[in-house]
Amino acid sequence: MSGRKNDVLIIEDSMATTILLRDFLKKLGYENIEACTNGKTGIRVFSELESAGKKPIVLLDFHLPDMNANEVMASIFDIRPDAKIILETADSKSDEQIKGALRGGAYLYIEKPIRFENLKNVFETLEQERTILEEKPTDDLERITSHLKSSSRMSFARLSEYSGTENDLLKKCLSQLETEKIIIKISDIKEILCNQCNSLRILPNFFCPACNSTNFMQGKLIEHFKCGNVSVEDSYKENKCPKCHKEIKILGVDYKSMDNYYICKDCDDKFPEPTQDYFCVKCSNRFPLEKAKWISSPGYKTI
């Protein structure tokens, strides 16, 4: 497969949002980005791209001046039934809104203001799926094997979701692959499910426990006993405390060093571990570990 990325079509009436999205996607390596400010133009441009043999990923604003998102989606699916459409909205999301959007064919649903690290994860997942599809496996066995080869190990549940294979057929295929000594069965794998849509397409989020920013760095902290200053190692220029300007000399007497700390660049909070939650690529739900669902299923790996 070539390294060329998908085209992207942004259908969004906010010019500011479009500029932010375009700039961010260009940083990710997406060069061919079209933008429209209303539904009718978006449908026309999508049709033109499809006629040119392109398969654009669509970022669709839920509220447009001339059409609603469901109408735009229906027209796009008439042109290409397997189009990947990502809905975006500033509305407070509810279970029914998400279910309705997914029932309408949306690939997933994201909220404004858009968290760009989440959008990055979504586009990376789309590219991975495109890679698998472009391998064009000729039957179920090849498709399942290609998924197994993409990871050092994979669970039955994840294979079922990723390959879209019915469980009974999947069991038969895996049994055949075991007989042919292409794969071996390993111990059960326990995994997190989205507590909203039951998808296994889950990615971890890490953020500052004080302000929820993802703009933090890992570093070493120095605490100066004499004045109580605690700051990053780089702030002690020429071994002098940035607060009282006294020289620090002896570790354990003048100061102590705290390795592997994290420093938030937005609020300057310092913490030993970032806070973590999880993001569902399928429905954009975010949830903490204590609210996650779990599933255990047999694991497999290629020989």
Last-in-domain residue among 77, 108, 131 = 131
Tell whether 107 and 230 lie within a shared domain.
no
Percent of the chain whose pLDDT exceeds 70: 91
Q: pLDDT tens digits, residue range 187-209?
A: 999 999 999 889 998 888 888 99
Q: Is a pLDDT exceeding 80 seen at residue 79? A: yes
| Predicted pLDDT of residue 186 | 94
Q: pLDDT tens digits, residue range 137-172?
A: 446 787 788 888 877 889 999 999 888 888 988 999
Over residues 127-134, mean pLDDT = 68
Residue 210's nearest CA partner among 253, 140, 270 is 270
Report the chain's terminal Cα–Cα distance, integer Å. 25
Tell whether 142 and 194 lie within a shared domain.
yes
Last-in-domain residue among 131, 150, 173 = 131
Q: pLDDT tens digits, residue range 244-270?
A: 999 998 888 888 888 878 888 889 888
| Predicted pLDDT of residue 201 | 85
CATH of the domain at 290: 1.10.10.10
Q: Is a pLDDT exceeding 60 seen at residue 8? A: yes
Tell whether 185 and 164 lie within a shared domain.
yes
| Predicted pLDDT of residue 190 | 95
pTM summary value: 0.50
Q: pLDDT confidence of 136, banded at 50, 70, 90?
A: very low
Tell whether 39 and 123 lie within a shared domain.
yes
| Predicted pLDDT of residue 2 | 44
Does 26 fall in a domain?
A: yes
Q: pLDDT confidence of 133, banded at 50, 70, 90?
A: low
Residue 224's nearest CA partner among 244, 208, 198, 206 is 244
Largest CA distance in the chain: 73
Contact 110, 117 (CB under 8 A): no
> What is the rounded CA–CA span in Å between residue 4 and residue 31?
9
Does 2 fall in a domain?
A: no
- Number of Cα atoms under 13 Å in the Cβ half of residue 16: 3
Percent of the chain whose pLDDT exceeds 90: 33
| Predicted pLDDT of residue 207 | 86
State which residues form the domain around 190: 135-199+281-302
| Predicted pLDDT of residue 12 | 93
Spatial neighbors of 47 by CB under 8 A, at least 6 apart, are 79
| Predicted pLDDT of residue 45 | 95
Lowest mean pLDDT among 132-136, 146-150, 216-220: 132-136
Coil, helix or strand at residue 65: coil
Tell whether 170 and 297 lie within a shared domain.
yes
| Predicted pLDDT of residue 141 | 80
Q: Is a pLDDT exceeding 60 seen at residue 3? A: no
| Predicted pLDDT of residue 286 | 85
Does 31 fall in a domain?
A: yes
| Predicted pLDDT of residue 137 | 46
